């Protein structure tokens, strides 16, 4: 690789470092982030069933928890030090003697822990080590690490006991974080409870074998090396008929859902979103964040909703305002799917298989089905970002840059930033692409023209949306203020209230448990589960018939297309790094990476069960379609004659989704 290409690669790769470094700093150093650092020897423990009343209140105070460990030693140690790290303020006692406490207001970062010397206070025979932890913002947690001959005895695990301070008894066995808490227990799905579970497990194993076989390169399958390539349809109808059928089915289903679905039984914050729109309808002004729980959102969706409401009021049909907004959202959701098809045609003009496979995944994603009929700003935001991704791939590649391109893309990106904060990432992606082109261009005239396009693009975006973020910064010192910030006038807590390292690495338990458990069990499980199933219950209520059984089957069948999406993403990254970085994949890859990283950072900042969900990824549906098309098409080629099994899997998945996500 030449020096110029190495320079481009270095610049492009370094674009991911700021978010990665920010995530690492917040997790391991920031005392405001409730991340429980990993330990090689001990486990974080909490009370197994801490009362959760008040977790949705403006003010919440957790009861203190007393952790105790009874142990015996034959001979006291001369010196024995332990390191105690607590989420909260700790008071340590050994055999009734208070050793130390950081309750005096010492300005010490809790993540570094404190060392205590136990040796002088140990006695022959029975000993009791007690740690009382007080944390007003959430569940108290304890990690005790020790070495030497007592290390395996005292280090925190389920041999410790936990009791609320007001309890008179010895309490209950402490819960190892993300393993023993009450909200994770007893939530096996019907497949795991069934007497036929071994057969179901065998089926999942066969599906996994099929996926593995589809990932093995063709060069290791000599019987496929000379297999003929599938022919491509030559007529317009042949190239687009399947996509038209899929779009028609999905459009009918989603519009029907919007008509028949009762918005009040959907999203918990739908009333607040409607209230924002009605406020705009009455005043035609943008509220400040402290005026309502959802008033921190950028105002575009609410002005559009208010306009629809004004039409309904003019027709003396004010009672139809919520239903009109639902239909508006369903229309925007279909626009999102349409942008996916247009992007696929741009990326794969001569590959009908990749287009159809990618489009089918985008069209049948359950996250679109269960969000689109609700009253929320997520759908408009996702559709505008999708449109920006498509337009950037059209106007920034395959044609010369000009001021019209900058105006058009800048206008859409400005609207993205006026619809939701997640519009920031497609804007940064496009700006980064233009900046990289400017820095790497050898021709001075082309470099100057590219810099001019970049400047005009930035100016248009700032002119459209800059006022809103400047207002936030002036009043609150934060352009991206939300109702999770105390400056907004709101304050709420939700369980679990902490994030261990295992939350971001574990995956797999969702195949044996009910769908809603994924909100607690892990980040990737939450993203996967809410992408393919209505985990929050926005459309398919938890008590709905077939939700548990059919939802679990959907999560199983979705494993194959999900692997295809991941394979496609990695293939796109490899294309950018090894072949050509200046490619439409750049927009899809970088927007996806930054959006997903932002969701991960958000779950660190607000460690609640409601923050880890794929609803925030609606804007990535075209990118998901591109990655799915790329990955699944490659898997089909590596399956050879067995590709019919992949098609059968997708057909069963899509049929199940259409049935479960239809309002009846």
Residues 413-439 pLDDT 10s:
999 999 999 999 999 999 999 998 898
Strands 141-146 and 45-46: antiparallel
Helix ranges, 477-584 (H) = 518-521, 523-532, 547-557, 559-574
Measured from the Cβ of residue 204, the count of other Cβ atoms closer than 10 Å reads: 14
Higher pLDDT: 133 or 484? It is: 133
What pLDDT score was predicted for residue 230? 57
Given a contact cutoff of 8 angstroms between Cβ atoms, the answer to whether 108 and 467 are in contact is: no
| Alpha helix stretches (DSSP H) within 348-419 | 352-364, 366-371, 378-395, 403-417
Averaging pLDDT over each range in 71-85, 99-113, 353-367, which range is the top one? 353-367
Q: What local confidence, expressed as pLDDT, does residue 598 receive?
A: 93
What is the model's pLDDT at position 381?
A: 97
Pairing of strands 81-87, 35-36: unpaired
Q: Is the pTM of this model over 0.95?
A: no
**C-alpha–C-alpha distance, residues 575 and 35, integer Å:** 35
Residues, the chain = 664
Distance CA 359, CA 346 (A): 13
Among 14-28, 45-59, 200-214, the range of highest mean pLDDT? 200-214
Q: Which residue has the higher pLDDT, 405 or 9?
A: 405
Residue 298 backbone zone (phi > 0: left; psi -120 to 50: alpha; other: beta): beta
Residue 194 is classified by DSSP as: S
* % of the chain exceeding 90 in pLDDT: 63
Lowest mean pLDDT among 205-214, 262-271, 308-317, 529-538: 308-317
Residue-level pLDDT at 56:
47
Q: Which two tokens stand for residue 95?
A: 């055999």
Q: 544 or 348: whose pLDDT is higher?
A: 348
The enclosing H or E element of 212 equals helix 197-215
Question: Over the chain, what is the mean pLDDT?
Answer: 89
Query: Is the four-CA dihedral 488, 490, 491, 494 of positive or negative sign?
Result: negative
Sign of CA dihedral 151, 153, 158, 164: negative
Element (DSSP H or E) covering residue 460 = helix 444-476
Per-residue model confidence (pLDDT) at position 167: 66
Looking at residue 115, what is its pLDDT? 87
Helix (H, G, I), strand (E, B) or coil at 339: helix
Better-scored residue on pLDDT, 260 or 487: 260
pLDDT band at 21 (very low <50, low <70, confident <90, very high): confident
Q: Quick one: pLDDT band at residue 313, thresholds 50, 70, 90? A: confident
Structure letter (DSSP) for residue 132: E
Long-range contacts of 263-270 (CB under 8 A, 24+ apart): 263/322, 263/323, 263/325, 263/326, 263/373, 263/374, 263/375, 265/541, 266/373, 266/374, 266/375, 266/538, 266/539, 267/374, 267/375, 267/376, 267/536, 267/538, 269/293, 269/294, 269/376, 270/374, 270/375, 270/376
DSSP element (H, E) containing 141: strand 141-146
**The pLDDT of residue 107 is above 60:** no
- pLDDT at res. 103: 42
Sheet architecture: strand order including 45-46: 114-117, 81-87, 141-146, 45-46, 175-176
The two beta strands, 499-500 and 35-36, are parallel
How many Cα atoms sit within 13 Å of 602 on the Cβ side?
A: 20
Tokens of 376: 């929320």
- Distance between CA atoms of 83 and 90, rounded to whole angstroms? 12
**226, pLDDT greater than 70:** no
Three-state secondary structure of 66-131:
EEEEEEEECCCCCCCEEEEEEECEEEEEECCEEEEECCCCCCCCHHHCEEEECHHHCCCEEEEEEE
Q: Which residue has the higher pLDDT, 544 or 271?
A: 271
pLDDT at residue number 102:
43
Q: What number is the average pLDDT over the span 628-645?
A: 94
Which of 46-55, 215-224, 381-390 is predicted with the least confidence, judged by mean pLDDT?
46-55
CB 591 within 8 A of CB 426: yes
List CB contacts of 439: < 8 A, sequence separation 6 or more. Answer: 11
Residue 393 has pLDDT above 70, yes or no: yes
Q: What is the mean pLDDT of residues 499-509?
A: 93
Q: Is the predicted pLDDT of residue 18 greater than 90, yes or no?
A: no
Of the candidates 451, 385, 435, 437, which has an alpha carbon nearest to the alpha carbon of residue 413? 385
Per-residue model confidence as pLDDT tens digits over 131-181: 999 988 888 999 999 877 766 789 999 999 999 876 656 788 999 999 888
What is the Cα Rg of the chain in Å?
A: 27
As a whole number of angstroms, the distance between CA 530 and CA 514 comes to 12
- Write down the pLDDT at residue 348: 94
Find the angle CA(189)-CA(654)-CA(263) to the nearest 5 degrees.
Answer: 75
pLDDT confidence bin for 9, thresholds 50/70/90: low
Looking at residue 55, what is its pLDDT? 44
pLDDT at 5 over 80: no
Collapse the DSSP code of 508 into the 3-class scheme (helix H, G, I; strand E, B; otherwise coil) and give the result: coil
Secondary structure of residue 49 in the 3-state scheme: coil
pLDDT tens profile 560-608: 999 999 999 999 999 988 888 889 999 999 999 999 999 999 999 988 8
**Separation of alpha carbons 544 and 643, rounded Å:** 34
């Amino acid at each position: 690789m030449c020096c110029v290409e190495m320079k481009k690669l270095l610049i492009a790769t370094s674009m991911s470092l700021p978010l990665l470094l920010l995530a690492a700093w917040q997790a391991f150093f920031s005392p405001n982030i409730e991340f429980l650092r990993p330990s090689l020897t001990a486990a974080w423990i909490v009370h197994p069933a801490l009362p959760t009343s008040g977790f949705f209140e403006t003010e919440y105070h957790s009861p203190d928890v007393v952790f105790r460990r009874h142990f015996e030693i034959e001979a006291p140690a001369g010196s024995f030090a332990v390191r105690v790290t607590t989420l909260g303020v700790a008071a340590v006692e050994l055999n009734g003697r208070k050793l130390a406490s950081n309750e005096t207001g010492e300005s010490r970062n809790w993540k570094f822990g404190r060392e205590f010397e136990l040796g002088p206070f140990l006695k022959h025979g029975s000993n009791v080590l007690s740690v009382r932890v007080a944390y007003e913002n959430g569940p108290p947690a304890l990690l005790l690490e020790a070495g030497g001959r007592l290390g395996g005895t005292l280090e925190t695990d389920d041999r410790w006991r936990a009791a609320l301070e007001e309890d008179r008894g010895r309490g209950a066995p402490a819960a190892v974080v993300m393993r023993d808490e009450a909200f994770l227990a007893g939530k096996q799905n019907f497949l795991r409870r069934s007497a036929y579970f071994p057969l179901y497990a065998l089926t999942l194993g066969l599906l996994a074998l099929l996926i593995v076989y589809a990932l093995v390169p063709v060069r290791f399958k000599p019987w496929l090396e000379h297999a003929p390539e599938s022919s491509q349809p030559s007529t317009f109808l042949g190239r687009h008929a399947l996509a038209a059928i899929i779009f028609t089915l999905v459009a009918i289903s989603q519009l029907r859902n919007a008509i028949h679905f009762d918005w009040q039984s959907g999203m918990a914050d739908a009333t607040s979103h409607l209230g924002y729109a009605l406020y705009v309808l009455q005043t035609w002004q943008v509220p400040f964040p402290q005026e309502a729980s959802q008033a921190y959102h950028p105002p575009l969706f609410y002005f559009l909703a208010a306009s629809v409401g004004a039409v309904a009021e003019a027709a003396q049909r004010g009672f139809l305002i919520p239903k009109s907004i639902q239909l508006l959202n369903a229309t925007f959701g279909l626009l999102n799917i349409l942008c996916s098809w247009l992007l696929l045609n741009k990326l794969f003009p001569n590959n009908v298989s990749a287009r159809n496979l990618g489009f089918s995944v985008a069209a049948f994603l359950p996250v679109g089905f269960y969000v689109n009929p609700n009253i929320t700003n997520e759908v408009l935001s996702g559709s505008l970002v999708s449109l920006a991704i498509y337009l950037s791939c059209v106007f920034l590649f395959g044609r010369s840059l000009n001021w019209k391109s900058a105006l058009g893309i800048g206008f859409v990106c400005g609207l993205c930033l006026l619809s939701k904060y997640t519009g920031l990432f497609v804007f940064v992606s496009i700006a980064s692409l233009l900046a990289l082109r400017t820095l790497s261009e050898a021709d001075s005239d082309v470099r100057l023209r590219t810099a001019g396009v970049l400047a005009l693009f930035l100016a248009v975006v700032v002119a459209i949306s800059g006022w809103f973020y400047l207002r936030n910064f002036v009043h609150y010192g934060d352009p991206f203020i939300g109702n999770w910030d105390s400056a907004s006038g709101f304050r709420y807590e939700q369980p679990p209230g902490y994030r261990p390292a295992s939350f971001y690495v574990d995956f797999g338990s969702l195949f044996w448990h009910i769908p809603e458990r994924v909100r607690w069990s892990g980040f990737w499980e939450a993203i996967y589960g809410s992408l393919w199933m209505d985990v929050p219950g926005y459309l398919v209520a938890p008590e709905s018939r077939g939700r548990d059984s059919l939802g679990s089957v959907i999560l199983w069948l979705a494993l194959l297309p999900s692997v295809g999406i991941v394979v496609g993403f990695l293939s796109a990254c490899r294309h950018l790094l090894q072949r050509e970085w200046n490619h439409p994949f750049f927009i899809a890859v970088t927007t996806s990476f930054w959006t997903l990283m932002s969701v991960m950072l958000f779950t660190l900042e607000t460690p609640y069960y409601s923050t880890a969900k794929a609803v925030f990824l609606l804007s990535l549906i075209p990118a998901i379609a591109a990655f799915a098309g790329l990955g699944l098409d490659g898997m089909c080629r590596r399956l050879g004659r067995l590709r019919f099994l992949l098609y059968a899997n997708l057909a069963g998945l899509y049929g199940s989704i259409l049935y479960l996500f239809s309002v009846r």
